[in-house]
Structure 1
C-alpha cells in the first residue's frame, strides 16, 4: 500500500511538472491586442530592440574598459630557474694584471627565484585621452540607435496592425453583404415561383452572392498571413493566439494631425545620429593631431630576488631591489603617416557635413510628400464618409421599392454593389489616412517611442 502511494505521488508530480512546462507563460501573450498593447509588446520583445539594448550595455562596458587605462596598472610576476650548468664569463687575470689573458670564471648560483611587483600610471596617452573625451558621445550613439529602432518598430507594427484590421473589416463588410444577398436571393426566388418575375432575377442574385462569397474567402485567407506578419514585427510567439481588438470610432477620431507644423530636421533621430557621428569624427581629428605629442607614463618596480646553491634553502636568502621611473615616448619620424592620417580625418569630417546637408534636403522632401499624401487621403476619406451614408439610404429605398414592385431587380443589384464598394473604399481610405499620418509623424520626428 505504501509503495502504491509513493508511485501515485511520483506520477502526480511528473504530470504537474509536465503541465507547468507545456503551458506558456501568460506574460508571453496578449489577452486583448489593441494597437497600444501591440506596440508596447513589440518594444519589450522585438529581437531588434533586445539587440539594441544589449548594444547599449556593450557600449557602456567598452567605455569602462577604455577608461580603466587611466587607473594605476598593477601586475605581479613570479619566476623560478635552476641552472643545469652555470654560465661562464671571462675576467682579467688579476694575478697578472699586465697579461692580456682572460680567465674563465663560473658565475651565479644554481637556483634563482624572482618575485616582481610592477605599477604603472599613464600621465598622458592619446588613446586614453580619446576614450575619456568620447565616452559620453558613444553613450549617446548607443541610446540614439535604440530610439531609432524603437521608432522603426512602432511605425512598422502600427502599419501592420492597421492592415490587419482593414482586412478583418473587409471580411465583416462582405459578411453583411452576403446576408443581404441571401435575403435578396430568397425574395427573388419567391417572386419567381409566384410568377411575378422571370428567372433572370434570382439568377442574378445567385451570381452576386457567389461573387461576394469568393471575395470573402480571399479576404479571410489573407488575415492569417497578415496576422503572422504582425506577430513577426512584434516578436510575438508564432503559434501564440493574437486577438486584435479595435474601436472604429476611435480610429476615425485619430486621423487628424496638425498640418501647420514646421519641419525641423534636427528633431529627426537620423539627424541626431549624424550629429553624434560628426562629434566622433571631430574627436578623431584631434586624436590624429595628438600623434605629434609624446606619451608619458610613470612606473615603479619592487623585486624579491632569491638565490642559493641549495634548492631546499632557496628562499632563505633574499636580495630585494626596487626602482621608480618616468618614460617619455616621442615619435620623431614615421614617413609622413601622421600627416596623411590627419588629412584623412579632416576630409571625413568635411564629408559628414555634406551628409547632414543631404539629410536635411531628404527630410524636407519626405515631409512635403507625406503631407501631400495625408491631405489627399484625408480629403478622400471625408468624401467617402458622406458617400457611405448616401449608399446606405439609396439601398434601403430601392430595396423597399423593389419589394413593392416599383423597381427592377437590376436596380437592387446595382445598389448592393454600390453599398459594398462604398463600405470597402471607406475603410480602405481610413487605413490610407492613418498610414499617411504615420508617415507625416515620422517625417516630423514626432513618432512616440
Structure 2
C-alpha cells in the first residue's frame, strides 16, 4: 500500500513538472504557430495591452478612492504642550496670567458627507469611467489583432515566395543539366546552358533576398506580439486556409456603433454630461454632519498632568453655500455645455471619416479580390504553358529560349499570386476594421 502511494505521488510530481516545463516552452517557443496562436499570445503579452489592463486597475482604484469619501471619516489628533511662559489676559483693568504650564489633549472627530457634489460626481460616473477604461483596452487590442494579422500574413507571403523560388530552382537546375547535356552532345550551342545558368543565379539571388527579408518580418511579428526577441518563432504555412480566408461579404454596410472610436466618443459625451450636472450642483449647498470627543488634561505639575481628565464633546451640522463667486459658476456651466456641443461635432466628423474609410477599404478590397482571382487563373495557365513548352523542347520542337520565358512567366505568376493573396488578406483586415467587425474575440 505504501509503495502504491509513493508511486502515485511521484507520478503526480512528474506530471506537475512536465506541465510547468511545457508552459515555459509555450511562453518562449512557438513552433509552427497559427494566426490564432499569435493573436492569443499577443493579447496576453503585448506591452500596450498589458498597460491598458493596468490602466483599468488604476481607474478602478481611483473610483474606489473617490467613493471612499461617502464613508464616515474618523480622525485622531493628539498634542502635548508646555508653556515656558503662561499667557496674559487683560481683565477689569488689570493684566492677569491665565492657564497652566502643562496641557495635553486627544480629540476624536467623525465627519459624514450628506451632500457633496464631488463625491456625488464620483458615484454617478463610476460606471462610465470603468466603461471608458475597458473601451481603451479594447481599442488597443483591436490594433494588436490588426497588426499581428498583417505581420503574420506578410511573413507567410515571404515564406510562400521562398518556396516558389525553391521549386523554380529545382526546375532550372534540371533545365541547366538538360541544356548542358545537349551542348555536350553537339545538338545545341553553349547559349542555352549559359542562359540557364543566368536564370538559375537570378533565382538563387531572389531566394537569398527573400530569406533575409523573412528574418526582418519575423522580428516585426515578434514585436507586435510582445514575443521575446531571442526566442524561436515560426508560423504555420497553409495556403489552402489562407485562400479560404480571402472572402468577405461585400454587402455588409457600416454601422457606426460597432466602431470602438464611436463608442469612446459616446462615453466621453456621457462624462461631459456628468460634468455639466456637476457644475449645476455648485448652486446647491454642501452638507455634512460631524461629531467630536476630546480628552483634555491640565496641570501645573507635569508629573500629575494625566491625573485628571476634563473631556468635552459635540455634534454638529455644517452647511456651506457660496453666495457670489463673480459669475464663475455660470461660466463653468456654459463651458460644459459648449464642450458637449463640440463633442457632438466630433461625432459628426467621425461619422464622415468612417464613411470615407469604409468606402476606400471596400473599393480596395474588391479591387484586390478581383486581382487575386486573376492571378490565381494566371498560375494555372502559366503551369499549362510551361509543361507544354517543356515537353515540346524535349522533343526538339521548341527552342530553349521559349522554355526560359515560360519558366520566368510561371515564377512571376506564382509570386504575383501570393502577393495578391497577402494584399487581399491585408485589405480584408482594413475593411473589417472599417466595419467595426474586427474585435479581440475574433481569433
TM-score calculated relative to the size of structure 1 = 0.91
Report Cα offsets for 1:83-134 as digits up to 9, x if no partner.
Answer: 1111121221xxxxxxxxx222221111100000001111111111111110
Report Cα offsets for 1:17-59 as digits up to 9, x if no partner.
Answer: xxx99x9654333233111000000000000000000000000
Q: Could you tell me how far 1:354 is from its partner in structure 2?
A: 0.5
Q: Could you tell me how far 1:383 is from its partner in structure 2?
A: 1.6
Q: What is the distance in 2 between the residues matched to 1:166 and 1:262?
A: 30
Q: Report the counterpart of residue 12 of structure 1 in structure 2.
A: none
Q: Report the counterpart of residue 314 of structure 1 in structure 2.
A: 305
Does residue 448 (structure 1) correspond to residue 439 (structure 2)? The answer is yes
Q: Report the counterpart of residue 227 of structure 2 in structure 1.
A: 236
Q: Report the counterpart of residue 162 of structure 2 in structure 1.
A: 171
Q: 1:25 to 1:310 in 2, by over 3 A?
A: farther
Does residue 396 (structure 1) correspond to residue 382 (structure 2)? The answer is no
Report Cα offsets for 1:155-209 as digits up to 9, x if no partner.
Answer: 0000000001101111111111111111111111111111111111111111111
Check the 8 A contact 2:288/2:317 in 1, yes or no: yes
Q: What is the distance in 1 between the residues matched to 2:59 and 2:406?
A: 64
Q: Select 1:424's aligned residue among 408, 415, 419.
A: 415
Q: What is the distance in 2 between the residues matched to 1:31 and 1:421?
A: 30
Does residue 43 (structure 1) correspond to residue 43 (structure 2)? The answer is yes
What number of residue pairs does the alignment pair up? 420
Q: What is the distance in 1 between the residues matched to 2:286 and 2:210?
A: 71
Q: Could you tell me how far 1:390 is from its partner in structure 2?
A: 1.3
Does residue 34 (structure 1) correspond to residue 34 (structure 2)? The answer is yes
Q: What is the distance in 2 between the residues matched to 1:50 and 1:267?
A: 24
Q: Which moved more, 1:374-383 or 1:24-33?
A: 24-33
Q: Could you tell me how far 1:226 is from its partner in structure 2?
A: 0.5
Q: Report the counterpart of residue 142 of structure 1 in structure 2.
A: 133
SS at match of 1:81: strand
Does residue 254 (structure 1) correspond to residue 245 (structure 2)? The answer is yes
Q: Report the counterpart of residue 58 of structure 1 in structure 2.
A: 58
Q: Report the counterpart of residue 100 of structure 2 in structure 1.
A: 109
Q: 1:236 to 1:440 in 2, by over 3 A?
A: same
Q: What is the distance in 1 between the residues matched to 2:127 and 2:157?
A: 45
Check the 8 A contact 2:109/2:293 in 1, yes or no: yes
Q: Select 1:212's aligned residue among 200, 203, 209.
A: 203
Q: What is the distance in 1 between the residues matched to 2:439 and 2:418?
A: 25
Q: Report the counterpart of residue 67 of structure 1 in structure 2.
A: 67
Q: What is the distance in 1 between the residues matched to 2:238 and 2:161?
A: 15
Q: Report the counterpart of residue 236 of structure 2 in structure 1.
A: 245
Check the 8 A contact 1:35/1:246 in 2, yes or no: no
Q: What is the distance in 1 between the residues matched to 2:200 and 2:28?
A: 42
Q: Select 1:119's aligned residue among 110, 116, 128.
A: 110
Q: Report the counterpart of residue 161 of structure 1 in structure 2.
A: 152
Check the 8 A contact 2:375/2:413 in 1, yes or no: yes
SS at match of 1:246: coil
Q: Which moved more, 1:410-419 or 1:339-348?
A: 339-348
Q: Report the counterpart of residue 302 of structure 1 in structure 2.
A: 293
Does residue 337 (structure 1) correspond to residue 332 (structure 2)? The answer is no
Q: Report the counterpart of residue 82 of structure 2 in structure 1.
A: 82
Q: What is the distance in 1 between the residues matched to 2:28 and 2:306?
A: 64
Q: What is the distance in 2 between the residues matched to 1:445 and 1:103?
A: 87
Q: Could you tell me how far 1:150 is from its partner in structure 2?
A: 0.5
Q: Report the counterpart of residue 17 of structure 1 in structure 2.
A: none
Q: What is the distance in 1 between the residues matched to 2:161 and 2:377?
A: 19
Q: Report the counterpart of residue 366 of structure 1 in structure 2.
A: 357
Q: What is the distance in 1 between the residues matched to 2:259 and 2:170?
A: 49
Q: What is the distance in 1 between the residues matched to 2:299 and 2:393?
A: 122
Higher Cα radius of gyration: 1
Q: What is the distance in 1 between the residues matched to 2:396 and 2:31?
A: 51
Q: What is the distance in 2 between the residues matched to 1:49 and 1:208?
A: 48
Following superposition, which runs of at least 4 residues in structure 1 exceed 6 angstroms of deviation?
A: none
Check the 8 A contact 1:29/1:236 in 2, yes or no: no
Q: Report the counterpart of residue 287 of structure 1 in structure 2.
A: 278
Does residue 346 (structure 1) correspond to residue 337 (structure 2)? The answer is yes
Q: What is the distance in 2 between the residues matched to 1:444 and 1:232?
A: 26
Q: What is the distance in 1 between the residues matched to 2:324 and 2:422?
A: 67
Q: 1:311 to 1:114 in 2, by over 3 A?
A: same
Q: Could you tell me how far 1:64 is from its partner in structure 2?
A: 0.4
SS at match of 1:447: coil
- RMSD over aligned Cα atoms: 1.5
Q: What is the distance in 2 between the residues matched to 1:29 and 1:308?
A: 77
SS at match of 1:334: coil
